[in-house]
A and B are shown apart, each in its own frame.
Chain A
Amino acid sequence: MQLYLPIAEVSVNAFLLLGLGGLVGLLSGMFGVGGGFLITPLLFLVGIPPAVAVATSANQIVASSFSALLAHLRRRTVDMWMGTVLLIGGLLGSALGVMAFNTLKALGQVDLLVRLCYVVFLGTVGGLMLWESLRSVWRTRSGVVPQRRRHNWVHALPFKTRFRISGLYISVIPPILVGLLVGLLSAIMGVGGGFILVPAMIYLLGMPTKVVIGTSTFQIIFLTAFTTLLHATTNQTVDVVLALLLIVGGVIGAQIGAQIGTKLRPEHLRILLALLVLAVCGQLATTLLLRPEEMFSVEPVE
Chain B
Amino acid sequence: MRVWAAILALALLVLPARAEEIVLGLSSDEVAITATFDGSDILIFGAVKRAAPAPQPAPLQVIITVSGPLQPLTVREAGRRLGIWVNTAAVEVDAAPTFYAVATTGPLDRILRDTEDLRHSVSIPRAIRAVGNDVGNREDFLQALIRIRTEEGRYQMLEGEVDFEQETLFRTEVGLPANLTEGEYATRIFLTRDGRVVDTYEASIYVRKVGLERWLYALAHEQPLLYGLMALALAMLAGWGASLGFRALRG
- Are A4 and B243 in touch, CB under 8 angstroms? no
Closest to A11 in B: B178
A241 within 8 A of B: yes
The segment out of A150-158, A192-200, A262-270, A288-296 that lies at the interface is A288-296
B41 in contact (CB, < 8 A): no
Interface size on A, as a range, is 35 or more
Instruction: Please pick, from A3, A7, A9, the residue contacting B180 in the complex, using a CB distance under 8 A.
Output: A9
B72 and A301 within 8 A (CB) = yes
Q: Report if B229 contacts A (CB, 8 A).
A: yes
Segment of B46-54, B79-87, B101-109, B194-202 engaged in the interface with chain A: B79-87
The answer on a CB contact under 8 Å between A11 and B179 is yes
Could you tell me which residues of chain B, from 189 to 210, have a CB within 8 Å of some CB in chain A? 209
State in angstroms the CA–CA spacing of A251 and B247 once bound together: 13
The yes or no answer to A144 lying at the interface (CB within 8 A) is no
B37-74 interface with A by 8 A CB criterion: 37-39, 71-74
Say yes or no: A300-B71 contact (C-beta < 8 A), given A4-B38, A232-B231, A240-B230.
Answer: yes
Q: Which B residues are CB-close (under 8 A) to A47?
A: 179
B78 near A297 (CB under 8 angstroms)? yes
User: Which interface class (under 10, 10 to 19, 20 to 34, 35 or more) fits B?
Assistant: 35 or more
Of B80, B225, B235, the residue contacting A59 (CB under 8 A) is: B235
* B75 in contact with A297 (CB, 8 Å): yes
Contact residues in A for B224 (Cβ distance below 8 Å): 232-234, 236
Q: Which of A18-69 contact B (CB under 8 A)?
A: 47, 59-60, 62-67, 69
Residues of B within 8 Å of A240, CB to CB, are 216, 227, 230-231, 234
| Residue pair B87, A255 in contact (C-beta under 8 Å) | no
- Produce 1/0 per residue, A240-251, CB < 8 A to B: 110110011001
Q: Indicate whether A276 reaches chain B with its CB closer than 8 angstroms.
A: no
Q: Is the CB of A66 within 8 A of B75?
A: no
* Contact status B235-A66, CB under 8 Å: yes
- Interface presence of B238 (CB below 8 A): yes
A residues near B, CB below 8 A? 1-4, 6-7, 9-11, 47, 59-60, 62-67, 69-71, 108-109, 111-112, 225, 228-229, 231-234, 236, 238, 240-241, 243-244, 247-248, 251-252, 254-255, 287-292, 294-301
- A-B pairs, top 4 by smallest CB distance, nearest first, are A232-B228, A66-B239, A251-B242, A11-B178
A-B contact pairs, 27 of them (CB 8 A): A2-B38, A3-B35, A6-B217, A7-B217, A10-B179, A59-B231, A59-B235, A63-B238, A64-B239, A229-B225, A229-B228, A232-B228, A233-B225, A238-B231, A240-B216, A247-B239, A251-B241, A251-B243, A254-B242, A255-B242, A289-B83, A289-B84, A297-B148, A298-B73, A298-B75, A298-B149, A299-B74
